[in-house]
Amino acid sequence: MANARAQPPVLVAQGIGHLTRNFLREVGGVFWFIVNTFQETFERIQKGRVPFRATSFFRHTERAGVDSVPLVGLVSFFLGLTMALLTGYQLQRFGTERLIPGLVAIAFTRELGPLLTGIMLAARIGAAFTAELGTMQVNEEVEAIEAMGIGPLRFLVAPRMLALFFLMPCLSTVSNIAAIFASSLVCKAYFSMAFPYFLDLVKDSLLIRDIITGILKSFMFGLLIAAIACYRGLTVKGGAAGVGTSTTSSVVTAITTVIGFDTLYNIVYTTFYPT
Amino acid sequence: MSTPTHMVEMRDVCMQFEEKKVLDGLSLKVAPQERLVILGQSGSGKSTILRLILGTLRPASGSIFFRRHEITRLQRGRLQRVRQHIGMVYQYSALLSSRTVSENVALPLEELTDKSRSEIDKIVDEKLELVGMEDSKDLLPEELSGGMRKRVALARALVLQPELILLDEPSAGLDPVIASVIDELIITLTEKSKVTSITATHEMDSAFRIATRMAMLYQGKIIEEAKPEEFKQSKNPVVAQFLSGSTEGPILEGTLDAITKK
């Protein structure tokens, strides 16, 4: 009843407070989820036992990694193609089309490769993880695992998290190579740039630092996507409808988090390395 | 606080889900090798009691002991070790849908013991033979009937040779013949392995077949505890109404009027 009499500014403040509280609760939830998964996994290792079976890890790496190569490769190829073509015509006006290889290479290795791969994997694999774990949760399978004395975090979450953690950099590299290759085709076809010359220009402009930045970012993206997807899956409530809602929410949260984290990373990075 | 002498002991346990109070100062003791059946209406908190003993739910207040371990105070690692001495059969079996029957039964052995592959296979075959499921070992849970799933769940619950087995509605949704088969299986296996069992059910036939002792849960408390033959003769009006299945009595007081008015 208090709400009915509240003034609009109070309602806005209430709304903001409510959203902030939910946001902080979710951030805290995912953070402790990651911590507990690590803890449960290391406790198992300390006992001298493997935390999960290798087959489980490889099944997830195959699904998340190998099976994602065509999608990541194709999307990055077309984006590299478009980027080289559109920037090429602009740069040609100033006679600087030789900057295309460096531009595409730096843009993809530092930024677009990891970011695009992150977004694609959040949609493709994150959704699959949430739906799979969510269904297990609804069918009491997760509780049954817990009831047997098996830690569900190290058994179900750790192999998925580790698979995405290690595969994101690999897939980012696939994305980079596909985009650079596509831009080399454009450079050859439209700007008469020979492949060896193109490669020389890429090597001249690309720094090791750019590559390391992209790789480090990818590791973190992989961890975040897997953590958010598994967290959403294991906290599903409300049957089949709940699985659907959580899957949508998982993809949206993972994509937003990846972009948000990328921005934060770039702010910190450019503060320390401005060039 | 005195040390518990029973297999399971619940002392003054309260539990509520949001506003709804499910258990209200419940106390219960289960002796070793006993087959206790907890009776009660749907939604009265029978499954909650099993989950509290297992430690997958935490009570709002009160203590729960399994042997000398106070479940309510155990840290995650210790709790996981204690759970290896307890087997649980869920109402809908809760078999892992992506694993075959034999993989489901083998899971606790693979994850929690140092047994070799051949030893695990041998134990799995033995347990599946005990429940009459040796010919279905390569099938997926979705290819099984309700009764078959229950038998696999029973084999999985017994595979680590637990001291206590918790059964949530073991014969619900099964035809009377298969329900009797499951009940007989529970009796045989618990007697053979000298396992204590706690069964939550509202199926009267099944309850009287399995139980060596029965307890009636009503409004968050155990209102009657007795051996099956004494339980049948109970003068408690709630128990009498529950056993007779009558609509007249304290259980539906007010509810029936509300339904009729609608």
Query: Which residue of B56, B96, B112 is in closest CB contact with A147?
Result: B56
Phi, psi at residue A156, to the nearest 5°? Answer: -100, -40
The tally of domains found in chain B comes to: 1
pLDDT attached to residue A110:
92
> Does B88 reside within a domain?
yes
Cα–Cα–Cα angle for A132, A241, A155, rounded to 5 degrees: 25
Closest CA to A114 of A161, A197, A172: A172
Interface pTM, i.e. ipTM: 0.87
Q: How far apart are the first and last CA of chain B?
A: 51
Residue of A nearest to B81 (CA): A149
User: Is some CB atom of chain B closer than 8 A to the CB atom of A59?
Assistant: no
pLDDT of residue A78 exceeding 60, the answer is: yes
Q: How far is A50 from chain B (nearest CA, A)?
A: 9
Share of chain A above pLDDT 90, in %: 78
- Residues in chain B within 8 Å Cβ distance of A155: 111
Residue of B nearest to A135 (CA): B97
CATH of residue B188's domain is 3.40.50.300
Q: Do A147 and B97 touch (CB under 8 A)?
A: no
Rg of chain B taking only CA atoms, in angstroms:
19
> Does B219 reside within a domain?
yes
Q: How far is A144 from chain B (nearest CA, A)?
A: 6
Q: How far is B169 from chain A (nearest CA, A)?
A: 14
pLDDT of residue A156 exceeding 60, the answer is: yes
pLDDT attached to residue B109:
94
Determine contact, residues A55/A155, Cβ cutoff 8 Å: no
pLDDT digits (tens, 9 = 90+) for A5-60: 678 888 899 999 999 998 899 889 999 999 999 999 998 898 888 888 888 899 99
Count of CB atoms situated within 10 Å of the CB of A83: 20
Q: How far apart are CA B171 and CA B202, in angstroms?
A: 10
Helices assigned H by DSSP within A65-157: 69-93, 100-106, 113-121, 127-138, 141-147, 152
Q: Do A141 and B95 touch (CB under 8 A)?
A: yes
Residue of A nearest to B104 (CA): A145
pLDDT of residue A199 exceeding 90, the answer is: yes
Q: How far is A225 from chain B (nearest CA, A)?
A: 23
Q: Do B86 and A155 touch (CB under 8 A)?
A: no
pLDDT attached to residue B66:
93
pLDDT attached to residue B60:
93
pLDDT attached to residue B257:
60
pLDDT of residue A1 exceeding 50, the answer is: no
Query: Which residue of B81, B83, B110 is in closest CB contact with A147?
Result: B83
Task: Give mean pLDDT, residues A116-123.
Answer: 95
> Of chain A residues 16-55, which have a CB less than 8 A from chain B?
40, 43, 53
User: Is some CB atom of chain A closer than 8 A to the CB atom of B92?
Assistant: yes
Which one of A38, A40, A138, A148 would you mutate to disrupt binding with B, by most B Cβ within 10 Å of its Cβ?
Answer: A148
Query: Which residue of A43, A143, A149 is in closest CB contact with B94?
Result: A143
Phi, psi at residue A31, to the nearest 5°? Answer: -60, -50
pLDDT of residue A275 exceeding 90, the answer is: no
For the record, the structure tokens of B221 come out as 């408390």
pLDDT attached to residue A30:
92
pLDDT attached to residue B259:
53
Kind of pairing between the strands at B69-70 and B8-17: unpaired
Q: How far is B249 from chain A (nearest CA, A)?
A: 34
pLDDT of residue A77 exceeding 70, the answer is: yes
Give the range of the structural domain holding residue B223, as residue numbers without chain letter.
Answer: 32-55+76-261
- Residues in chain A within 8 Å Cβ distance of B17: none
- Residues in chain A within 8 Å Cβ distance of B97: 135-136, 139, 141
Closest CA to B104 of A1, A17, A144, A41: A144
The residue behind tokens 């699959």 is A128
Task: Give mean pLDDT, residues A123-150.
Answer: 94
pLDDT along chain B (262 residues), means of 10: 78 90 92 93 90 93 92 89 93 93 95 92 92 91 92 92 92 83 88 91 89 93 92 88 82 62 54
User: Is some CB atom of chain A closer than 8 A to the CB atom of B120?
Assistant: no
Domain ranges of chain A: 52-272
Query: A-B interface: how many C-beta pairs under 8 angstroms?
Result: 58
Determine contact, residues A178/A112, Cβ cutoff 8 Å: no
Q: How far apart are CA B52 and CA B65, in angstroms?
A: 10
